Structure 1
């Protein structure tokens, strides 16, 4: 019932869609914050199958801050998720949209602040390959 109501409101009130998306991000953040450690497999699947693919949506800038917070929450609860999270980000990395690339770089910086050194070693090569592409980009400042 709640899903149907929200879907109808979202469909009819175009002017508040950004607000609705932001609130969903805040709701997810609060739910993830309450997950107990060790994380259940269904929670990890939610990260991999629902949250991370949201990075490939063209309008990710509308909710990126909330999405990044959610991803960080998962990594703080389970450092073994670092490799799949980073590899997913690299998979969805923007090819031609430099403002979106800056968002990804900012998220990557936040992720690296919480990464366990042992987990970092697992993703160092693909990560630095992508960073090298960024540095060699004509948009690099």
Structure 2
């Protein structure tokens, strides 16, 4: 039943998705033994979305990300390794989707919630973003520049110093972009 509940997030009606979000979050908070199963199924759904499988539904992914943001907010500190693996295998690869703008706000909120819990994950997040950095889609590149700015606000100076060459390399490429929107950002 729980797996079917996660699969229902592909519906077009936002009211149904809102009810599903509330139900899934309530079940997650009450069914302690099923939390791992719920997270694994959400992870599988987000991984499928990251690789643009046919059942990918932008609004459903955005709703699942909102649920995940609430779940991540409840994580104990330090964050367990399986939660870090979720970040690396399910959330960061979502930056590669073609229609990033439709899911960016809840995705960014999820990433920032992780960083608020454990700032040491900033390097993982930034290097993951650079891995999926767009090369020809200037609209997506502008969105990711905005996200980069937000993520850097939650990043320690020591992490920034460690990966400064990669950061400045991407910023330099953006400054030389043929797109005026990207170059100005």
Question: So what's the TM-score if we normalise by structure 1?
Answer: 0.89
Provide, for residues 9-55 of structure 1, a one-character-per-residue CA deviation record: whole Å limited to 9, x for no partner: 62xx4565544332211101100111111010011000001110111
- List gaps (5 residues or longer) in structure 1: none
Give RMSD over aligned pairs: 1.7
Counterparts of residues 71-86 of structure 1 (less than 5 Å): 71-86=111-126
- Say whether 1:68 aligns with 2:108: yes
Q: Aligned-pair distance for 1:3?
A: 2.3
RCO higher in structure (CA 8 A, sep ≥6): 1
Number of residue pairs matched by the alignment = 139
- Is the CA contact (8 Å cut-off) linking 2:78 and 2:118 kept in structure 1? yes
Counterparts of residues 42-61 of structure 1 (less than 5 Å): 42-61=82-101
* 1:100 aligned to which of 123, 126, 140: 140
Tell me how far apart the structure 2 counterparts of residues 19 and 84 of structure 1 sit (CA, whole Å).
26
- Is the CA contact (8 Å cut-off) linking 1:75 and 1:81 kept in structure 2? yes
Alpha carbons of structure 1 residues 59 and 3: separation in structure 2 relative to 1, 3 Å: farther
For structure 1, which segment, 45-54 or 72-81, has the greater mean C-alpha deviation from structure 2 after superposition?
Answer: 72-81
- Is the CA contact (8 Å cut-off) linking 1:72 and 1:111 kept in structure 2? yes
- List gaps (5 residues or longer) in structure 2: 15-56
- Is the CA contact (8 Å cut-off) linking 2:69 and 2:109 kept in structure 1? yes
Q: What SS does the aligned partner of 1:35 have?
A: coil
Q: Aligned-pair distance for 1:64?
A: 0.9
Alpha carbons of structure 1 residues 15 and 90: separation in structure 2 relative to 1, 3 Å: same
- Is the CA contact (8 Å cut-off) linking 1:33 and 1:73 kept in structure 2? yes
- Say whether 1:118 aligns with 2:158: yes
